[in-house]
Structure 1
Amino acid sequence: MTTPTYSKALSWAFLLLQEKGLDDYGAEYVLLERQNWRKTDLSFHEREPMPAPIWQQFQQDVQTLLTGEPAQYLLGAAWFSGLQLKVTPATLIPRQETEELVAWVEHFAQRFARPRILDLGTGSGAIALALQQQLPQAEVWGSDLSAAALAVAETNGQRLQLPVKFVQGDLFAAVAAQPPFDVIVSNPPYISHREEPVMDYSVKHFEPQLALYADNDGLAIYQRIASTFATHLTLPGALFLEFGYQQAPAIKHLFGGDQAHWPLVIRPDLAGWPRMAQIGPAATQATRS
């Protein structure tokens, strides 16, 4: 039996996924990852018939994608800041937008000879491991409440040979006995439960709710961080946060106010949405460079 070309196989998959209102990019992502190809490789081979074993595997993968399962969970891996990370339903799938936060933190941390960095709510370890990769002189810690997520993070650290110290605990409880950090970074749960009806099906049904939702209109974790971060941060240091695109006013209220000692800068993502904040004595100076 003649198998379809790569191009026709993808068109078939795209149509099926679109009919169910699912992201059709997952089909291409899975195909490229299975073949260890780049998009240029696909362009080169797109008119060739798929070998039968690849076509059979691709059909199985598409059937799984049609359930709404994200391609990264299907493969058990996701890319972040040039690192291939293990991911499971115990961890969020790292997003490209968060790479912008990592770049901002990396730039700031370079002012320290050996920065001590804490990633709160590390999940798969994506932020902590990316920073350790870019700042080998740094001492990087990652904390998380979820033992299952930490097991994934530790596996990633071991496989990548990056010496991040992963510890279990609720926010700062895991590092209560540690000296202050020069950088604290967090991309905590920030989705309001009121947003559940409009959430993407794959996110809502497959990614861990513990890492998605927070009380008080999605602000509960930020409120807790705001009340305690200063005792865990060196005076030359800074706190970096990622948050929802509508939460900038609330973040300004929680971390700005009259705290002249902790100036705050909001930065947009590449799409222009205000999505990141730096809170710290050098915040204004850091954004002028």
Structure 2
Amino acid sequence: MANITFFEAQKWAFSFIKQFDNKHQADVMLLLQGQMNWTKVQLLTNYQTQMTVKDWEHFKRNVEKYCQDWPVQYLLGYADFFGLRLKVTQATLIPRPETQDLVEWILETEEAKPQKVLDLGTGSGAIGLALKTQRPQWQITLSDLMPEALTIAKENALTFGLTCQYVVSDVLDAFDNQAKYDILISNPPYIADDEVKYMDASVLKYEPHSALFAKNQGLAIYQKIAKQAPMHLTKHGRIYLEIGFKQARAVSDIFTRLYPKAKIEVKQDLSGHDRMVKVSF
């Protein structure tokens, strides 16, 4: 197809995706906008502009890969989170909108005074970097089991001119006993192996399984955090965790059994699901 306009390219894509289940026109528009670094208004005003051959071929490839279940964020190379456009690759989980609720809760609950904060399993750095932009006086440490993920987190921090510390670690295994934090945050792997049947094909095919699945019915990392975290917290330290929407009781019980005097709070996300747990010592 020669001399194709952006409108014609979009029309082709809308037609092409009809043969595939669970593919959406809104995602096609995001692919086209993102490729051109345009807003929706800019795309509309350029509908009759002709695409270059390079842009057209790129768009076609992306639409075809999208129909092979590639996530839009991986195709574009970024995901928007809490006002930040974060680089993402297959080494990092794509930040979810509901995780923004965890960031909001922390900002609403914690004092703005300087504090030492650890983001465990940081991935792209989403939680820690979002907090750093809002609380520049906080000392943020980003940690992940996968060095490849931590490299992406560092790139994102540099993009926004944010200074953080970085530690490659399986939960807190690599941390010195002298490392103490006021706040520990984690959105760990929490999906049980038997929940695979409920998951989207795009997630199973392309996102890192190490950031998704955990043993012991999805509770293994919470159990490890519960055992290790207190020795790395200051006297009145707090732990904030994202959880699966059916895990509130199980995660609360893990901490209650080990620390009966700790205060456990469960908070719902905007959809009304139990999605976050706070443990205060």
- Asked whether the 8 Å contact 1:119–1:127 carries over to 2, the reply is yes
Query: Structure 1 length normalisation: TM-score?
Result: 0.88
Q: Residue in 1 aligned with 2:224?
A: 224
**Cα deviation, residue 77, structure 1:** 1.4
**Cα deviation, residue 72, structure 1:** 1.2
Q: Residue in 2 aligned with 1:91?
A: 92
CA distance in 2, matches of 1:214, 1:176: 25
Q: Residue in 2 aligned with 1:180?
A: 180
**Cα deviation, residue 257, structure 1:** 5.0
Q: Residue in 2 aligned with 1:286?
A: none
Q: Gaps (5+ residues) in structure 1? A: 282-289
Is 1:192 the counterpart of 2:192? The answer is: yes
Match runs of 1:30-41 below 5 Å: 30-41=31-42
Alpha-carbon displacement from aligned partner over 1:155-194 (angstroms, at most 9, x marks no partner): 2122222111111011112323443211100000011111
Q: Residue in 2 aligned with 1:108?
A: 109
**Cα deviation, residue 244, structure 1:** 0.8
SS of the aligned residue for 2:272 comes to coil
Q: Which moved more, 1:126-135 or 1:25-34?
A: 25-34
Aligned length: 277
Distance 1:164 1:18, change over 3 A: farther
**Cα deviation, residue 87, structure 1:** 0.9
- Asked whether the 8 Å contact 1:122–1:143 carries over to 2, the reply is yes
Alpha-carbon displacement from aligned partner over 1:116-164 (angstroms, at most 9, x marks no partner): 0000111111111111111110100011111111111112122222111
Q: Percent identity?
A: 39
CA distance in 2, matches of 1:167, 1:50: 48
CA distance in 2, matches of 1:3, 1:161: 40
Q: Which moved more, 1:242-251 or 1:152-161?
A: 152-161
Q: Residue in 2 aligned with 1:243?
A: 243
Taking only aligned residues, the RMSD between alpha carbons, in angstroms, comes to 2.1
Q: Residue in 1 aligned with 2:215?
A: 215
**Cα deviation, residue 12, structure 1:** 4.0
CA distance in 2, matches of 1:270, 1:17: 31
Q: Gaps (5+ residues) in structure 2? A: none
CA distance in 1, matches of 2:178, 2:20: 50
Match runs of 1:102-141 below 5 Å: 102-109=103-110, 111=111, 113-141=113-141
Give the letter for the 2:171 counterpart: L
